[in-house]
């Protein structure tokens, strides 16, 4: 496992690689962001952006999503995986926002997770990106990179990964580190083909060293 100094050095190197890491889901307000993040489960940000480019022209408020039938909304997002359930959750979310939150998105993570289709990861993204409240959302990239490097244990749950990262990273860097870890996992330390030979973190990385010796991913089973 990496010590605190090594983690600091890894984060600095990742920051050098991706200084402009940011949320890649297009949105212009917190409500649009929660819709976009909800749509992004098991789907690429690029596809979500393609769909929301049209969706956000048609639907601007919670009321708008409730003025159409479920079938119409499903049709508007049908190129996205799990679109039937996602459309149902969006309409339930809009109903709850209007009935319990005066039509506005709550700024509190625990309140956000009460909304249909909004889990802890989505809530962390929303508070961090839309409300500038420090948070670390652990998605598949953040989890994979943290475990490969040895910041977290292979057996850690997503919640344990989040808590470890919150302990190891200064609070002022939670949000930006979250984006940088996502970029690092999405574009460099990819699930199937990590770029170990050219990786500036190889000297720290237990998984990279194994892969370079030809024992690829033995701990990832």
Binding ligand SF4 (rule: CB under 6 A), the pick from 148, 178, 179, 180 is 148
Residues 107 and 128: their CA atoms lie apart, in Å, by 10
Active site residue 121: yes
Closest by Cα among 141, 145, 153 to 1: 153
Residues 161 and 146: their CA atoms lie apart, in Å, by 8
User: Which residues, including other chains, have CB under 8 Å from residue 38's CB and lie 6 or more apart?
Assistant: 86, 89, 90, 93, 117, 118, 122
- Does position 35 bind ligand SF4 by CB under 6 A? no
Determine the angle formed by the axes of helices 120-131 and 30-39, rounding to 10 degrees. Answer: 150
Q: Which stretch binds ligand SF4 (CB under 6 A): 52-60, 91-99, 172-180, 205-213?
A: 205-213
Residues 125 and 37: their CA atoms lie apart, in Å, by 8
- Does position 2 bind ligand SF4 by CB under 6 A? no
Query: Whole-number minimum distance, CB 104 to ligand SF4, in Å?
Result: 40
Query: Whole-number minimum distance, CB 200 to ligand SF4, in Å?
Result: 8
User: Which residues, including other chains, have CB under 8 Å from residue 135's CB and lie 6 or more apart?
Assistant: 109, 124, 125, 127, 128, 174, 175, 178
Residues in 87-106 at the binding interface with ligand SF4, rule: CB under 6 A: none
Binding ligand SF4 (rule: CB under 6 A), the pick from 21, 23, 130, 149 is 149
Select 109 or 188, whichever has its Cβ closest to ligand SF4: 188
Residues 197 and 211: their CA atoms lie apart, in Å, by 9
Query: Whole-number minimum distance, CB 196 to ligand SF4, in Å?
Result: 3
Query: Whole-number minimum distance, CB 71 to ligand SF4, in Å?
Result: 44
Chain centroid to Cα 111, Å, comes to 18
Q: How many CB atoms lie within 10 A of CB 83?
A: 18
Binding ligand SF4 (rule: CB under 6 A), the pick from 29, 100, 195, 216 is 195
- Does position 199 bind ligand SF4 by CB under 6 A? yes
Binding ligand SF4 (rule: CB under 6 A), the pick from 13, 70, 202, 219 is 202
Q: How many residues bind ligand SF4 (CB under 6 A)?
A: 13
Chain residues binding ligand SF4 by CB under 6 A are 148-149, 188-189, 194-196, 199, 201-202, 205, 207-208
């Amino acid at each position: 496992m990496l010590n605190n100094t090594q983690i600091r050095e890894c984060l600095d190197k990742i920051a050098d690689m991706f200084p402009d890491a940011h949320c890649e889901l297009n949105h212009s307000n917190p409500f649009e962001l929660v819709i976009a993040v909800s749509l992004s489960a098991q789907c690429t940000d690029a596809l979500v952006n393609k769909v929301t480019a049209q969706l956000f022209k048609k639907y601007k408020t919670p009321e708008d999503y409730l003025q159409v039938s479920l079938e119409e909304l499903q049709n508007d997002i049908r190129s996205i995986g799990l679109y039937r359930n996602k459309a149902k959750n969006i309409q339930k979310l809009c109903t709850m926002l209007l009935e319990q939150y005066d039509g506005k998105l709550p700024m509190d993570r625990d309140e956000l997770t009460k909304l249909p289709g909004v889990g802890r990861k989505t809530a962390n993204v929303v508070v961090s990106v839309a409300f500038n409240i420090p948070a670390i959302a652990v998605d598949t990239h953040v989890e994979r990179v943290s475990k490969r490097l040895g910041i977290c244990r292979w057996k850690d749950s997503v919640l344990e990964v989040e808590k470890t990262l919150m302990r190891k990273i200064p609070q002022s860097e939670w949000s930006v580190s979250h984006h940088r870890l996502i970029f690092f996992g999405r574009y460099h330390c990819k699930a199937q083909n990590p770029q170990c030979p050219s990786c500036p973190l190889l000297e720290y990385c237990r998984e990279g060293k194994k892969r370079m010796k030809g024992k690829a991913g033995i701990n990832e089973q």
